[in-house]
Structure 1
Amino acid sequence: MSSHKPDYDHLLRTNIERVFGERDAAKRDKVIAEIYTAEPVLLEPTDIVQGRDNISKTVDKLLEQFGPDFAFMPVGQANGHHGLAHLAWHAGPKNGPVVVTGVDVAEIVDGRIARLWVLLDPPV
């Protein structure tokens, strides 16, 4: 086992800001290649998405569904150890109210995201 501790905050924050926040697919795909393993899995409440390309397509659909002013924002810092990390986030129109909150939980393998669970908070 490597003694190198991954930068959990960087990985999960980059995922929120530059994957789920990136509308340009080519830019997003480059970041996905940097921070995800070769065969990552995204586990959403209603779907399981396998592979980098399919994750990018899922983000495309999500951003298209919510419109051009919708943004995901990290809340606080990611915390993790022994290959498991989490980061809270909220989302909504850039200058509007928060419409959804949640937590990303990631399994980190060799410094990259191998599996990412998107956990949505219940509506208030």
Structure 2
Amino acid sequence: MPDTETSTAAEPDYDRLLRANLDRVFNERDAGKRAAALDELFVDEPVMYEPNDVVRGRAAIADVAGKLLEQFGPTFRFSPAGVAVGHHGLGTLRWEAGPDGGPVAVTGTDVAEMVGGRIARLWVLLNPPST
């Protein structure tokens, strides 16, 4: 029988990391605070896979997050939809986004590979629009 205490001790806190990524990176409008969060939450050379692009490095990820917030307006935000789950270094968090108090504009899932308790690779999976 596996030693569950040892097995879980090495696992990162998927929910904390993935929620912090939404809140402190993708919802943060202050570029300095966003950069500090990326330094804390991501490895030195992270890669983010978007549907139409591959983004390499903390600065490039920060730039993508800032441009998204500018594009969609001052009340646009990402919100977790449930609790992140994961094991063996791979975590997922469902999310939704739209204006505060407004309709949900987009939903998706972040899938992250964790290395040393930080995000190394992040896949942004968008759900197709509802019809």
TM-score calculated relative to the size of structure 2: 0.92
Q: What is the aligned partner in structure 2 of residue 117 from structure 1?
A: 123
Q: CA deviation at 1:5?
A: 1.4
Which secondary structure state, in structure 1, belongs to the residue aligned with residue 71 of structure 2? helix
Q: Residue deviations 1:58-82, cap 9 Å, x none?
A: 1111111111110100011100000
1:61 aligns with 2:67: yes
Q: Distance in 2 between matches of 1:4 and 1:50?
A: 26
Alignment of 1:75-94 (within 5 A): 75-94=81-100
Q: What is the aligned partner in structure 2 of residue 102 from structure 1?
A: 108
Residue 30 of structure 1 aligns with an amino acid whose one-letter code is A
Which secondary structure state, in structure 2, belongs to the residue aligned with residue 85 of structure 1? strand
Q: CA deviation at 1:14?
A: 0.2
Residue 35 of structure 1 aligns with an amino acid whose one-letter code is L
Q: Distance in 1 between matches of 2:47 and 2:8?
A: 23
Q: What is the aligned partner in structure 1 of residue 47 from structure 2?
A: 41
Q: Residue deviations 1:66-106, cap 9 Å, x none?
A: 11110100011100000000000000000100010000000
**Count of aligned positions:** 124
Instruction: Calculate percent identity across the aligned residue pairs.
Output: 60
5+ residue gaps, structure 2: 1-6
Which secondary structure state, in structure 1, belongs to the residue aligned with residue 82 of structure 2? strand
Runs of 4+ with deviation above 4 angstroms = none
Which secondary structure state, in structure 2, belongs to the residue aligned with residue 77 of structure 1? coil
1:26 aligns with 2:32: yes
Indicate the structure with greater strand content: 1
5+ residue gaps, structure 1: none
Q: Distance in 2 between matches of 1:60 and 1:69?
A: 13
Q: Residue deviations 1:8-65, cap 9 Å, x none?
A: 0000000011100000000010010001000000110111100000100111111111
Q: CA deviation at 1:3?
A: 4.7
Q: Which has the larger radius of gyration?
A: 2
